């Protein structure tokens, strides 16, 4: 009897392996197809950066590990990106991990379908040159299979937040987080209560102004940060991007990244 049980278990394992291999091939074809259209999207969604380059910001980044730039895009360009983000809220994946995070996220793959302007921002050579100038080295987008390479984070329900955390680096080169604030407002006016905070080396906490059209660049693996819970009627939408000096990885780090992504996109992140 036990021989039949062992044979059945082995057959099931083999079937699961075959299905996984087929699924991974399908996913590679899907991602390659999406990537093939990016040149057209970049052409059709030009950016207008109005913030002048500032050489002092590179020194600030080297000293603090974080910089912020006010009024980064033209109002028209910002409004276009915000419109894409708001129109895609129903397509976002809700997530809730008690004591850690609550909110909605639009994944990198879905951004290809619902927010081509946001996709163009991430892949813009000019944006990558600006980031490289700030961090002092060339940077590249992280791999297509990483759903957090580019995402839209939405905090609109009371209590949406993310607690203290690092943005762990799963790649060989240094890893940088870039946030563009698309919306940050309270129902009664002013900014939402979802304030971006960072922990200073002396243990104190510093609030960062993330008014709409603010760009924040930091090395997430070295900067402990959080976003405070939203109040009733608040709206905070962030375009979240990751760039890397060397985006190569190992299978072990890739698996660890997938486990992390289940917090944002559910259990499917393990195999998609």
Question: Taking a C-beta distance cutoff of 8 angstroms, is the pair 77, 51 a contact?
Answer: no
Q: Give a yes or no: residue 241 inside a domain.
A: yes
Q: Please report which confidence band the pLDDT of residue 77 belongs to, taking 50, 70 and 90 as the band edges.
A: very high
Is residue 58 domain-resident? Answer: yes
Residue 196 has pLDDT above 90, yes or no: yes
Q: What is the CATH number of the domain that holds 202?
A: 2.60.120.620
| 160 and 131 co-located in one domain | yes
Mean model confidence pLDDT for the chain: 88
156 and 197 co-located in one domain: yes
The whole-number average pLDDT for the span 55-76 is: 95
Assess contact for 68 and 91: CB atoms under 8 A: no
> In terms of pTM, does the model score above 0.85?
yes
Check whether 193 has a pLDDT greater than 90: yes
Q: How many domains does the chain have?
A: 2
Contacts of 125 (CB under 8 A, 6+ apart): none
Q: Identify whether 84 is part of a domain.
A: yes
Domain holding 185, by residue range, is 47-270
Q: How far does CA 64 lie from the centroid of its chain?
A: 21
Does pLDDT of 68 surpass 70? yes
The tens digit of pLDDT for each residue in 213-267 reads 999 999 999 999 999 999 999 999 999 999 999 988 887 877 777 777 776 776 7
């Amino acid at each position: 009897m036990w021989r039949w049980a062992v044979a059945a278990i082995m057959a099931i394992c083999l079937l699961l392996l075959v299905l996984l291999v087929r699924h991974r091939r399908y996913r590679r074809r899907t991602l390659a197809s999406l990537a093939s259209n990016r040149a057209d999207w970049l052409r059709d969604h030009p950016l207008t950066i109005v913030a002048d380059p500032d050489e002092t910001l590179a020194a600030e980044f080297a000293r603090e590990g974080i910089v912020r730039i006010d009024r980064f895009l033209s109002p028209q360009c910002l409004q276009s990106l915000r419109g894409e983000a708001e129109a895609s809220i129903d397509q976002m994946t809700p997530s809730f991990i008690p004591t850690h995070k609550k909110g909605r996220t639009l994944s990198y793959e879905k951004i290809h379908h619902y927010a081509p302007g946001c996709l163009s921002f991430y892949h813009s050579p000019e944006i990558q040159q600006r980031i490289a100038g700030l961090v002092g080295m060339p940077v590249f987008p992280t791999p297509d299979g990483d759903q957090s390479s580019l995402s839209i984070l939405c905090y609109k329900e009371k209590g949406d937040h993310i607690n203290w955390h690092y943005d762990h680096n799963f790649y060989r080169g240094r890893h940088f987080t870039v946030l563009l604030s698309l919306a940050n407002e309270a129902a009664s006016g002013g900014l939402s209560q979802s304030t971006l905070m960072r922990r200073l080396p002396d243990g104190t906490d510093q609030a960062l102004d993330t008014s709409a059209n603010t760009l924040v660049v930091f090395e997430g693996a070295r900067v402990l940060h959080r976003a405070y819970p939203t109040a009733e009627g608040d709206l905070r939408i962030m375009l979240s991007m990751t760039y890397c000096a060397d985006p190569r990885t190992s299978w072990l780090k890739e698996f660890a990244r997938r486990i992390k992504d289940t917090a944002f996109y559910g259990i499917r992140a393990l195999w998609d």
